[in-house]
Amino acid sequence: MELDDAKSAWAALDRRLQQHNRLQFQLFAERRLDKVRGSLRPLFWGQIAQIFFGVCFVAMAGVLWAGKPDVAAVIAAGVVVHLYGVLCIVMAGITLGRIGRLDYAAPVLEIQKRLAGVRKAYVFSGIIAGLPWWFLWVPILMVLSAYAGVDLSARAPSLVWIGMGIGVAGLLATWWFHRWSRDPKRPRLARAMEDSIVGRSLLKAQAQLDELKRFEQE
Protein backbone atom coordinates (compact mmCIF):
# COMPACT_ATOMS: atom_id res chain seq x y z
CA MET A 1 0.00 0.00 0.00
CA GLU A 2 2.91 2.36 0.78
CA LEU A 3 4.37 1.67 -2.71
CA ASP A 4 1.07 2.58 -4.32
CA ASP A 5 0.94 5.79 -2.30
CA ALA A 6 4.46 6.67 -3.40
CA LYS A 7 3.61 6.01 -7.05
CA SER A 8 0.52 8.20 -6.76
CA ALA A 9 2.53 10.98 -5.14
CA TRP A 10 5.20 10.83 -7.85
CA ALA A 11 2.55 10.87 -10.56
CA ALA A 12 0.85 13.87 -8.95
CA LEU A 13 4.21 15.65 -8.64
CA ASP A 14 5.00 14.90 -12.30
CA ARG A 15 1.66 16.34 -13.39
CA ARG A 16 2.28 19.46 -11.34
CA LEU A 17 5.74 19.86 -12.87
CA GLN A 18 4.35 19.46 -16.37
CA GLN A 19 1.59 21.94 -15.61
CA HIS A 20 4.15 24.36 -14.19
CA ASN A 21 6.38 24.00 -17.29
CA ARG A 22 3.44 24.59 -19.63
CA LEU A 23 2.46 27.70 -17.67
CA GLN A 24 6.04 28.99 -17.73
CA PHE A 25 6.29 28.43 -21.49
CA GLN A 26 2.94 30.12 -22.05
CA LEU A 27 4.00 33.19 -20.06
CA PHE A 28 7.38 33.29 -21.84
CA ALA A 29 5.69 32.90 -25.24
CA GLU A 30 3.22 35.71 -24.52
CA ARG A 31 6.03 38.09 -23.56
CA ARG A 32 8.06 37.23 -26.65
CA LEU A 33 5.07 37.52 -28.99
CA ASP A 34 4.21 40.92 -27.49
CA LYS A 35 7.77 41.98 -28.33
CA VAL A 36 7.34 40.65 -31.88
CA ARG A 37 4.22 42.80 -32.29
CA GLY A 38 6.05 45.81 -30.90
CA SER A 39 9.02 45.24 -33.20
CA LEU A 40 6.77 45.21 -36.26
CA ARG A 41 4.96 48.48 -35.48
CA PRO A 42 7.64 50.71 -37.06
CA LEU A 43 7.49 48.51 -40.17
CA PHE A 44 3.70 48.83 -40.24
CA TRP A 45 3.78 52.62 -40.01
CA GLY A 46 6.62 52.78 -42.51
CA GLN A 47 4.41 51.04 -45.06
CA ILE A 48 1.55 53.42 -44.28
CA ALA A 49 3.96 56.28 -44.99
CA GLN A 50 4.97 54.62 -48.26
CA ILE A 51 1.32 54.50 -49.32
CA PHE A 52 1.00 58.25 -48.78
CA PHE A 53 4.32 58.68 -50.58
CA GLY A 54 2.94 56.77 -53.57
CA VAL A 55 -0.30 58.76 -53.49
CA CYS A 56 1.73 61.96 -53.90
CA PHE A 57 3.18 60.69 -57.18
CA VAL A 58 -0.19 59.50 -58.43
CA ALA A 59 -1.55 62.97 -57.63
CA MET A 60 1.41 64.57 -59.42
CA ALA A 61 0.59 62.57 -62.52
CA GLY A 62 -3.10 63.36 -62.08
CA VAL A 63 -2.38 67.09 -62.23
CA LEU A 64 -0.45 66.48 -65.45
CA TRP A 65 -3.33 64.49 -66.98
CA ALA A 66 -5.74 67.28 -66.06
CA GLY A 67 -3.71 69.61 -68.31
CA LYS A 68 -4.11 67.18 -71.24
CA PRO A 69 -0.48 67.09 -72.39
CA ASP A 70 0.10 66.42 -76.09
CA VAL A 71 3.89 65.98 -76.13
CA ALA A 72 4.93 62.33 -76.31
CA ALA A 73 7.97 62.74 -74.04
CA VAL A 74 5.91 64.50 -71.38
CA ILE A 75 3.20 61.84 -71.56
CA ALA A 76 5.86 59.12 -71.18
CA ALA A 77 7.31 60.91 -68.15
CA GLY A 78 3.83 61.17 -66.63
CA VAL A 79 3.23 57.46 -67.14
CA VAL A 80 6.52 56.63 -65.40
CA VAL A 81 5.70 58.87 -62.43
CA HIS A 82 2.14 57.51 -62.23
CA LEU A 83 3.32 53.89 -62.44
CA TYR A 84 5.94 54.47 -59.74
CA GLY A 85 3.30 55.84 -57.37
CA VAL A 86 0.96 52.91 -58.02
CA LEU A 87 3.73 50.36 -57.46
CA CYS A 88 4.71 52.01 -54.16
CA ILE A 89 1.10 51.80 -53.00
CA VAL A 90 0.62 48.20 -54.15
CA MET A 91 3.84 46.88 -52.62
CA ALA A 92 3.17 48.64 -49.32
CA GLY A 93 -0.34 47.16 -49.35
CA ILE A 94 1.02 43.66 -49.94
CA THR A 95 3.47 44.04 -47.05
CA LEU A 96 0.71 45.33 -44.76
CA GLY A 97 -1.50 42.42 -45.81
CA ARG A 98 1.19 39.91 -44.85
CA ILE A 99 1.73 41.62 -41.52
CA GLY A 100 -2.01 41.41 -40.92
CA ARG A 101 -2.02 37.68 -41.68
CA LEU A 102 0.45 36.90 -38.90
CA ASP A 103 -1.40 34.56 -36.52
CA TYR A 104 0.27 34.86 -33.12
CA ALA A 105 -1.78 31.92 -31.82
CA ALA A 106 -0.23 29.60 -34.41
CA PRO A 107 2.79 27.36 -33.72
CA VAL A 108 6.12 29.19 -33.64
CA LEU A 109 7.30 27.53 -36.86
CA GLU A 110 4.20 28.75 -38.69
CA ILE A 111 4.73 32.30 -37.40
CA GLN A 112 8.34 32.15 -38.58
CA LYS A 113 7.23 31.07 -42.05
CA ARG A 114 4.72 33.91 -42.30
CA LEU A 115 7.29 36.39 -41.02
CA ALA A 116 9.60 35.21 -43.80
CA GLY A 117 6.81 36.17 -46.21
CA VAL A 118 6.62 39.63 -44.63
CA ARG A 119 10.39 39.95 -45.01
CA LYS A 120 10.28 38.99 -48.69
CA ALA A 121 7.49 41.48 -49.44
CA TYR A 122 9.22 44.25 -47.47
CA VAL A 123 12.56 43.80 -49.24
CA PHE A 124 10.89 43.83 -52.66
CA SER A 125 8.83 46.86 -51.64
CA GLY A 126 12.03 48.67 -50.66
CA ILE A 127 13.64 47.83 -54.00
CA ILE A 128 10.61 49.17 -55.88
CA ALA A 129 10.53 52.37 -53.81
CA GLY A 130 14.29 53.02 -53.77
CA LEU A 131 16.14 51.83 -56.86
CA PRO A 132 14.13 53.77 -59.49
CA TRP A 133 15.37 57.04 -57.97
CA TRP A 134 18.60 56.67 -59.93
CA PHE A 135 16.65 57.90 -62.97
CA LEU A 136 13.18 58.78 -61.64
CA TRP A 137 14.20 62.35 -60.89
CA VAL A 138 14.35 63.00 -64.65
CA PRO A 139 10.66 62.18 -65.36
CA ILE A 140 9.73 64.13 -62.23
CA LEU A 141 11.56 67.21 -63.53
CA MET A 142 9.86 66.76 -66.88
CA VAL A 143 6.42 66.59 -65.25
CA LEU A 144 7.09 69.64 -63.06
CA SER A 145 8.37 71.56 -66.09
CA ALA A 146 5.25 70.58 -68.01
CA TYR A 147 3.14 72.32 -65.34
CA ALA A 148 4.73 75.57 -66.54
CA GLY A 149 4.21 74.61 -70.19
CA VAL A 150 7.87 73.73 -70.74
CA ASP A 151 8.89 70.61 -72.64
CA LEU A 152 12.17 69.79 -70.91
CA SER A 153 13.11 67.18 -73.51
CA ALA A 154 12.99 69.91 -76.19
CA ARG A 155 14.33 72.80 -74.09
CA ALA A 156 17.20 70.90 -72.41
CA PRO A 157 17.60 67.50 -74.14
CA SER A 158 21.17 67.11 -72.85
CA LEU A 159 19.90 67.26 -69.26
CA VAL A 160 17.40 64.49 -69.94
CA TRP A 161 19.87 62.19 -71.67
CA ILE A 162 22.66 62.81 -69.18
CA GLY A 163 20.21 62.14 -66.37
CA MET A 164 19.11 58.86 -67.90
CA GLY A 165 22.77 57.91 -68.42
CA ILE A 166 23.49 58.61 -64.76
CA GLY A 167 20.51 56.45 -63.85
CA VAL A 168 21.72 53.48 -65.89
CA ALA A 169 25.26 53.87 -64.49
CA GLY A 170 23.86 54.07 -60.96
CA LEU A 171 21.79 50.93 -61.37
CA LEU A 172 24.77 49.03 -62.77
CA ALA A 173 26.99 50.27 -59.93
CA THR A 174 24.38 49.20 -57.38
CA TRP A 175 24.14 45.74 -58.94
CA TRP A 176 27.96 45.40 -58.96
CA PHE A 177 28.30 46.51 -55.34
CA HIS A 178 25.57 44.08 -54.28
CA ARG A 179 27.40 41.18 -55.89
CA TRP A 180 30.78 42.34 -54.57
CA SER A 181 29.49 42.72 -51.00
CA ARG A 182 28.04 39.19 -51.01
CA ASP A 183 31.36 37.56 -51.86
CA PRO A 184 32.14 34.71 -49.36
CA LYS A 185 35.48 36.41 -48.72
CA ARG A 186 33.60 39.29 -47.04
CA PRO A 187 31.11 37.59 -44.68
CA ARG A 188 30.87 40.53 -42.24
CA LEU A 189 30.10 42.99 -45.03
CA ALA A 190 27.57 40.57 -46.55
CA ARG A 191 25.88 40.24 -43.16
CA ALA A 192 25.82 44.00 -42.64
CA MET A 193 24.32 44.56 -46.09
CA GLU A 194 21.69 41.89 -45.52
CA ASP A 195 20.74 43.42 -42.16
CA SER A 196 20.49 46.90 -43.66
CA ILE A 197 18.15 45.66 -46.38
CA VAL A 198 15.92 43.70 -44.01
CA GLY A 199 15.72 46.48 -41.41
CA ARG A 200 15.80 46.56 -37.62
CA SER A 201 12.08 45.85 -37.12
CA LEU A 202 12.19 42.49 -38.88
CA LEU A 203 15.55 41.55 -37.37
CA LYS A 204 14.20 42.15 -33.86
CA ALA A 205 11.03 40.17 -34.59
CA GLN A 206 13.03 37.28 -36.01
CA ALA A 207 15.35 37.27 -32.98
CA GLN A 208 12.37 37.06 -30.61
CA LEU A 209 10.86 34.15 -32.53
CA ASP A 210 14.21 32.34 -32.69
CA GLU A 211 14.57 32.67 -28.91
CA LEU A 212 11.02 31.38 -28.43
CA LYS A 213 11.73 28.42 -30.71
CA ARG A 214 14.87 27.50 -28.74
CA PHE A 215 12.95 27.71 -25.46
CA GLU A 216 10.22 25.50 -26.92
CA GLN A 217 12.74 22.84 -27.95
CA GLU A 218 14.49 22.71 -24.56
**Mean pLDDT split into 10-residue runs, the chain, 218 residues:** 54 56 60 77 90 95 91 92 95 91 79 85 86 90 90 87 90 83 70 64 74 64
What is the rounded CA–CA span in Å between residue 116 and residue 47?
Answer: 17
Looking at beta carbons, which pairs linking 66-71 to residues 24 or more positions away fall under 8 Å? 67/146, 67/147, 69/146, 71/146, 71/151, 71/153, 71/154
Count CA atoms within 13 Å of residue 208 on its CB side.
22
| CB-based contact 163:138 (threshold 8 Å) | yes
Q: Which residues of 93-105 are buried (b: 16+ CB within 10 A; e: fewer)?
A: bbbbebbeebeee
What is the rounded CA–CA span in Å between residue 198 and residue 181?
Answer: 15
**What is the CB neighbour count within 10 angstroms for residue 42?**
14
| Maximum C-alpha span of the chain | 105
What is the rounded CA–CA span in Å between residue 132 and residue 178?
Answer: 16
Report pLDDT for 113: 85
**What is the CB neighbour count within 10 angstroms for residue 213?**
15
Report pLDDT for 94: 93
Report pLDDT for 61: 94
Residues near 180 by Cβ (< 8 Å), separated by ≥ 6? 186
Q: In total, how many domains does the chain have? A: 1
Residue 156 DSSP one-character state: -
Range of the domain at 9: 2-217
Report pLDDT for 1: 46
What is the rounded CA–CA span in Å between residue 65 and residue 75?
Answer: 8
